[in-house]
Amino acid sequence: MNRFSFVDCTSVEHALGELGSGTEVKAGGIDVLDRLKEGLDQPEKLVNIRNIRSLAAIEDSAQGLRIGPLATLTEVSEHTAVKQNYAALAHATGHAATPQIRNVATIGGNLLQRPRCWYFRNADFPCRRKGGEIRFAQDGENQYHAIFDNHICAIVAPSSAAVPLIAFNAQVELTSKDGKRTVPLEKFYLTPEQNVTREHSLRPGELLTAVVIPRTSQNTKSAYQKYGEKDSHDWPIADAAVVLDMDGNTVRRASIVMGAAAPTPMRATASEALLSGKALNEQLARQAGKAAMQGATPLAHNGYKVGLFETAIYRTVLFAGGLMPRDRSAVGGDV
């Protein structure tokens, strides 16, 4: 690890004043400290925002929910308004990683964590995401990699929280010395075609200062499911969030997002269109699962993910619609 200075900030203004070239932000530190130890990042200065209390609040209002980026995954998952109105988010944040990590990891850091691809994480592999020329995953060990949009770089988006947040049409508030801007979370993430070395469009000198989710109605039902190799802790191999606007048993509008399928969280637009305006039943949910996989381009070792995602979406749609009250097959499904 390189030598760096450490600045402990207690206000947003203080932190913005400290940001510049050669600096890096630390929130909970779970991901950024790993990257320093792995030799991937070598900042001159680490700007600790963990103690800026004004960025840790969760506020529920008639407009919706405003989550400070320093709210921990535990605080988000256990918040009454999140559990009542945004069940998919409560589930995703409540089943990411381990209880110890969830007590430290922040929602902002979770959305901005860097990918888990083992070629990216190993400093000895000069992959395209690190500015190199070689696409190691395409011809290598690609069992956990992307099954969509995997031609330039086959990482998968790592954040569990981003999946339901996009399904709920959340926005992120970004603050710099020049002011604030708000961006839909779905557009905040960058595809490899847009930028192969960066996952999101946070600008230098900017802080993520809020996640804002529009209010849901009484007819909104949602669910999230995560499938992994271990039940105890790990990033998902496949996960899905489904938000349904229901009129009785009929789906007025569906919002379906997949994680770990592509380099960015991916909307299942064909499944959304298929469900809209129809009475929900098991057969329709199965068709939605199949529709989501149209256009998949699996690599040599990850073809199994196509079937896994079909099942994940089928079950999450039924779970959201109340037609599958308990599901023991997904991580944390039995709640």
Q: Which residues bind ligand FAD (CB under 6 A)?
A: 24-32, 49, 69, 96-97, 101, 105-106, 108-110, 112-113, 158-161, 202, 207-208, 233-236
Three-class secondary structure assignment of 3-53: CCEEEECCCHHHHHHHCCCCEEEECCCHHHHHHHHCCCCCCCEEEECCCCH
Work out how close the CB of 97 gets to ligand FAD at its nearest, in angstroms, rounded to a whole number.
3
Q: Which of 177, 168, 265 is nearest to 213 (CA)?
A: 168
CB-nearer residue toward ligand FAD: 39 or 322: 39
Q: Are strands 45-48 and 23-26 parallel, antiparallel or unpaired?
A: parallel
Query: Is beta strand 45-48 parallel, antiparallel or unpaired with respect to 5-8?
Result: parallel
For ligand FAD, give the closer residue by CB, 71 or 274.
71
Could you give the C-alpha distances from 185 to 74, 135, 164, 174, 254, in angstroms and in order?
21, 27, 11, 11, 18
Residue 88 host element (H or E): helix 87-94
State how far the Cα of 213 lies from the Cα of 126, in Å rounded to an integer: 38
Planar angle of CA 156, 224, 248, nearest 5 degrees = 135
Residue number with the shortest CB distance to ligand FAD? 109
Q: Are 47 and 9 in contact (CB under 8 A)?
A: yes
Q: Closer to ligand FAD at the Cβ: 27 or 293?
A: 27
Minimum distance from residue 27 beta carbon to ligand FAD (Å): 4
Closest approach of ligand FAD to the CB of residue 214, in Å: 21
Q: Which residues contact 124 (CB under 8 A, 6 or more apart)?
A: none
Shortest distance (Å) from residue 159 CB to ligand FAD: 5
- Distances from the Cα of 295 to the Cα of 162, 268, 270, 273, angstroms: 22, 11, 11, 16
- Token duo for residue 304: 């199994």
- Least distance (Å) between residue 239 CB and ligand FAD: 8
Question: Rounded to the nearest whole angstrom, what is the least distance from the CB of residue 297 to ligand FAD in the complex?
Answer: 24
What is the secondary structure of 252-270 as a DSSP string?
EEEEEEEESSSSS-EE-HH
Cβ proximity to ligand FAD, 141 vs 173, nearer residue: 173
Residue 121 near residue 38 (C-beta atoms within 8 A)? yes
| Residue whose CB is less far from ligand FAD, 26 or 129 | 26
Please report which helix (H) or strand (E) contains residue 167, including its range.
Answer: helix 162-167
Q: At closest approach, how far in Å is the CB of 68 from ligand FAD?
A: 9
89 token code pair: 């988010």
Q: Which is nearer to ligand FAD, 159 or 311 (CB)?
A: 159
Comparing CB distances to ligand FAD, the nearer of 161 and 166 is 161
Helix or strand or coil: residue 173? Answer: strand
Residue with smaller CB distance to ligand FAD, 8 or 24: 24
Q: At its nearest, how many Å lie between ligand FAD and the CB of residue 302? A: 18
Q: Shortest distance, CB of residue 209 to ligand FAD, whole angstroms? A: 7
Which residue, 149 or 199, is less far from ligand FAD as judged by CB? 199
